[in-house]
Amino acid sequence: MPDVIVIGCGGGGPVMAKELAGQGLDVLVIEGGPRFADSEADFSRLENDANNPINGYLRVGPASRDRPAYPRSLRQDGFVWQVSGVGGTTLHYYGNCPRASEGVFSGYDGADADLYDTDHLFPFTFEELRPYYEWVEATLPVQTAAMGTKEATFFKGCEGIGLPHNTSKDVSQASFRAQQNSILQPQGTAGKAKDPVYPDAQGCTFCGHCFQGCSMPRGAPRNLKAKRSTDNSYVPMMLTADAWASGGKPATLITDAFVQRIHAERRGGSVVATGVTFVDGKGARQRVDAEVVVLAGGAVESPRLYLSSRLPNDNGWAGRGFTDHHLDWIFGVFDEDTGNSKGASSSARADFPGYGGLENGGLPPALQAFSMTFSDSGTVGGRGSASPATKAGADTLGRVVGRDLIEALSDVNRILNVLVLTDDDVEFQNRVSLERLALPDANGAIPRVEVNHRRRSKRTLRNREFLAGRAVALLRAAGAKSVHRVDWPPLMLHTHSSMRMGTSARTSMCDQWGHSRGVDGLYIADNSVLANGLGGANPTLTTQSVATRTAEHIATTRFGRDPWVRSSAPVSSIDDRVTEAVLARGL
């Protein structure tokens, strides 16, 4: 019987597992998807082979691609972009690691305090989380992004609209900056050689394939691959905890094993988590019990499992309050080279406290075509749509067709994309629930994801319009000869707060320790536990920092360990002890 079971091995689960394994606890991690043990062979980097939601290697589904993907039910056109497997959705991610806006935490009294979703703040202060941010930043590690032509073009636009340059990790005014990202900076021949091979090449090789899974540089030990998706960072650490932590004990990882139920029993006046039942890829069912259960299945699957396990939902907030940054996509077409498809995919950003942010998003051709033709406003030039989005100063609004489409796609390296990251409100109406009107999949009732896209709160809609206007102006100032607003339908790349922690027991599922208010011994350690949309900041760094804080709380309060984050130095995932253990154990 393990001390702790962690459900899900994506962005948050391995952080919890690594921290607890470092404290010598017996940790079992159960992941529903495959493990890409040989990333150079497993990641072909061909766009359809990787990203096809039905049978791509990065999809939501079981390990065997011959078996069907797991469906989601959506209320309107849209797509939930997540990945099953060791690394979870960080296999896709761009590694951007901004800290959340200070205004989304309790105790913030800056001049812009009223601009945020003040009804749904984090139940602790930014300063309380700072040491955990620093710990995760050192562990991944987070570095200033290596940049190229597309970032230079983005910065030119930022300067052109009068934004100042920010050189800090914290944001106090509207400004632009290089991303802080978890992609190792290029060294040696990386980015220069045609076939960059370790150790001559180290860090990011500028291959441009962040989206398809990072396996570069060729020949590098797994923990020294450039992108710090958790398969390359926290997972090697959790599996080698005895090598880098005194008294550490490697976690056990089971893959292609889907947890179908969290068990709980009534003890005295409380409901207490006791264990889980999972089904492996061959259909075998197994129950495992533990003192603590950590749910880290992501913002869709965590509420789904909680609800299908029929755990207490007294305030009705299980699955509610889902936030997604109400994303939008604006692109400009240039005469000159923008380097859109090259390098780390998104290395520059602009922040607008209280409104959200903008970042460049470099894409290879198929994803580029998808991103500019996926619209909630219909086809450019078509009849009016019900979307509240305006042109915001762009030349077109909607799905680009005809001459504009041909011209743009004739050379992806003359496009610059800007992703709009809205600081969106927590709203009761936006939620994950169990779909009763569709057939179940192999794991029971499928998740229904409802985002009332066109009727978001006034503040959310205002923020998105404001940011779209800034993005259009930025692209014009950068020299774009035409600018197009796509007005994405819900394209859920950033998904959060569906099992949120909060200041009020009436509107949150967890307390400030990620501890379920309804089930003792059940903790949440993925994006779903986030209290809100973070002010528009990409979520993973904050999820990982909150998970670290929760791990320390579990170890100290349940297993008698001493706190360690403020009293010891973090070990980096690229530390020689990790590398040696990874090589010796063939991980």
Ligand X SMILES: Cc1cc2nc3c(=O)[nH]c(=O)nc-3n(C[C@H](O)[C@H](O)[C@H](O)COP(=O)(O)OP(=O)(O)OC[C@H]3O[C@@H](n4cnc5c(N)ncnc54)[C@H](O)[C@@H]3O)c2cc1C
Interface ranges with ligand X (CB under 6 A): 7-13, 30-33, 81-82, 84-85, 88-90, 92-96, 211, 258-259, 296-299, 301, 305, 493-494, 526-527, 538-541, 543
Least Å distance, CB 418 to ligand X, is: 15
Residues 6+ apart with CB under 8 A from 369: 409
Element at 474 (helix H, strand E): helix 458-477
Least Å distance, CB 265 to ligand X, is: 20
Tell me the sheet residues that pair with 17: none
Tokens 């005194």 appear where? 246
Residue closer to ligand X by CB (options 299, 483) is 299
Residue closer to ligand X by CB (options 83, 480) is 83
For residue 245, the SS3 value is coil
Least Å distance, CB 426 to ligand X, is: 16
Amino acid identity of 55?
N
Least Å distance, CB 248 to ligand X, is: 22
Label residues 333-349 b or e (16+ Cβ within 10 Å = b).
bbeeebbbbbbbbbbbb
CA distance 499 to 339: 39
Q: Are 575 and 221 in contact (CB under 8 A)?
A: no
Least Å distance, CB 397 to ligand X, is: 24
Least Å distance, CB 488 to ligand X, is: 13
Q: Are 193 and 348 in contact (CB under 8 A)?
A: no
Residue closer to ligand X by CB (options 12, 362) is 12
Residues 6+ apart with CB under 8 A from 98: 169, 171, 179, 180, 349, 351, 357, 537, 538, 541
Residue closer to ligand X by CB (options 327, 581) is 327
The tokens of 580 are what?
């040696």
Least Å distance, CB 363 to ligand X, is: 10
Query: Which residue's Cβ lies closest to ligand X?
Result: 10
Locate all alpha helices (DSSP H) within 362-457, ordered by sequence: 365-371, 402-409
Least Å distance, CB 553 to ligand X, is: 18
The tokens of 491 are what?
């394209």
CA distance 507 to 321: 9
Locate all alpha helices (DSSP H) within 372-482, ordered by sequence: 402-409, 458-477
Least Å distance, CB 93 to ligand X, is: 3
Residue closer to ligand X by CB (options 243, 499) is 499
- The DSSP symbol for 441 reads B
CA distance 225 to 376: 37
Residue closer to ligand X by CB (options 278, 334) is 278
Q: Are 232 and 225 in contact (CB under 8 A)?
A: yes
Residue closer to ligand X by CB (options 364, 469) is 364
Residue closer to ligand X by CB (options 97, 245) is 97
Residue closer to ligand X by CB (options 305, 311) is 305
Strands 396-397 and 482-485 turn out to be parallel
